[in-house]
Amino acid sequence: MLQSWLHDWRRPRDRRCSFWGTRPMAEALATLLRPRYLDLLVSSPALPLPVGSLNPEPEPLERFGRRFPLAPGRRLEEYGAFYVGGSEGSPDPDLSRLLLGWAPGQPFFSCCPDTGRTQDEGARAGRLRACRRYLVERARDARVVGLLAGTLGVARHREALAHLRNLTQAAGKRSYVLALGRPTPPKLANFPEMDVFVLLACPLGALSPQPSGSFFRPVLTPCELEAACNPAWPPPGLAPHLTHYEDLLPGSPFHVSLPPPESELWDTPDVSLITGELRPPPTWKSSNDPGCSALTQRPQLELTESSPAASFLSSRSWQGLQPCLGQTPVTGAVSGRRGIAIAYEDEGSN
């Protein structure tokens, strides 16, 4: 099957190819392909280096949770891809990340080691990009966002968490930080108030695109939340797909600052592609603004809802025990029943 793939890829001497797999197998395959491809890259996982280690070689390009030893003057967008890995019938999160971020105009093939079958992944990459655009629309429609702290030991995770909270506040959304470990459908189903979840994790720990109905609410990446909340972010087709949250922070070449409050980008009309409704422009409020309070007390113990969380509570059929203040008559304390639930003292032998 590998020979047929090489035959189908025309003019192999003019092609640039990048492929990855397990290290021993990748080196053996690279030895086989180097006579046919002048410019061949072998990718490796971007694992953190030990503390105090010295790397005399130049730092390779790190994208999609992997390192690519590019030659000077080369760009990753110029290369086709050949992926070796995964198993038959089970989703591969590593392959999904690569398909989302790889250049759409370049060929992308995969090979399953269990069966030896190769296939063109162009159609699957298109479906993943369409799913990503749908998730961005869901994030734009969301009013309450749950930020899942999936990692506490990776550098700059606190700064990334503060950046995501600033994004949601600027877009007029409420955000809540949740530390739940690895997200699972039963865990996230305990928070029905959330419209979407955003997983803050390293590239190798991020979730792969989930099938429909797996989670109660969709789970997004920080890059998708950035595309939904930052009006200065490039439009679909031009924006890169970033798998590491550190690429969104200041100091990265992909960082895009939020426009100032007086910018016209915040007032641009925006229509939801899911509901067809016009989205209201976000209102900037500082944390000291008294108008940010979720509940405002009125006379006669009436509460007016001014936040998405309170609005969700009012739509629930059961909202907890009602205090009924001033409606319950005052009585003296009396002695209750004695015994256990299966047989109280006043119930007799029967």
pLDDT of 43 reads: 81
Task: Please give the C-alpha separations between residue 217 and each of 35, 193, 282, 314, 338, in angstroms, as whole numbers.
Answer: 49, 10, 23, 20, 47
Task: Say if residue 213's pLDDT is above 60.
Answer: no
Per residue in 229-257, is it b (16+ CB within 10 Å) or e — as a string? Answer: bbbebeeeeebebbbbbbbbbeeeebeee
pLDDT of 206 reads: 60
Q: Tokens at residue 342, please?
A: 């299966």
Of 171, 241, 25, 40, the residue nearest 112 (C-alpha): 25
d(CA 62, CA 46): 7
* Virtual torsion, Cα 210, 214, 218, 222, nearest 10 deg: -40
Instruction: Please list, in sequence order, all residues whose beta carbon lies within 8 angstroms of the beta carbon of residue 34, skipping any fewer than 6 positions away.
Output: 40
Task: Please give the C-alpha separations between residue 307 and each of 148, 296, 301, in angstroms, as whole numbers.
Answer: 21, 10, 18
Task: Say if residue 135's pLDDT is above 50.
Answer: yes
Task: Say if residue 203's pLDDT is above 60.
Answer: yes
Lowest mean pLDDT among 9-23, 102-116, 124-138: 9-23
Task: Say if residue 274's pLDDT is above 60.
Answer: yes
Question: Domains plus CATH for the chain?
Answer: 138-279 (3.40.50.11860)
pLDDT of 122 reads: 85
- Please tell me which residue, 295 or 342, carries the higher pLDDT value: 342
pLDDT of 7 reads: 41
How would DSSP label each residue in 82-150?
Answer: EEE---TTS--HHHHHHHHHS-TTS-EEEE-TTT--EEE-HHHHHHHHHHHHHHHHHHHH-SEEEEEE-
d(CA 31, CA 39): 13
pLDDT of 12 reads: 41
Task: Say if residue 42's pLDDT is above 70.
Answer: yes
pLDDT of 13 reads: 40
CB atoms closer than 10 angstroms to residue 74? 15
* pTM, rounded to two decimals: 0.70
d(CA 84, CA 111): 5
CB atoms closer than 10 angstroms to residue 118? 19
- Please tell me which residue, 297 or 100, carries the higher pLDDT value: 100
Q: Tokens at residue 125, please?
A: 């990459």
- Please tell me which residue, 2 or 70, carries the higher pLDDT value: 70
Name the helix (H) or strand (E) containing 31: helix 23-33
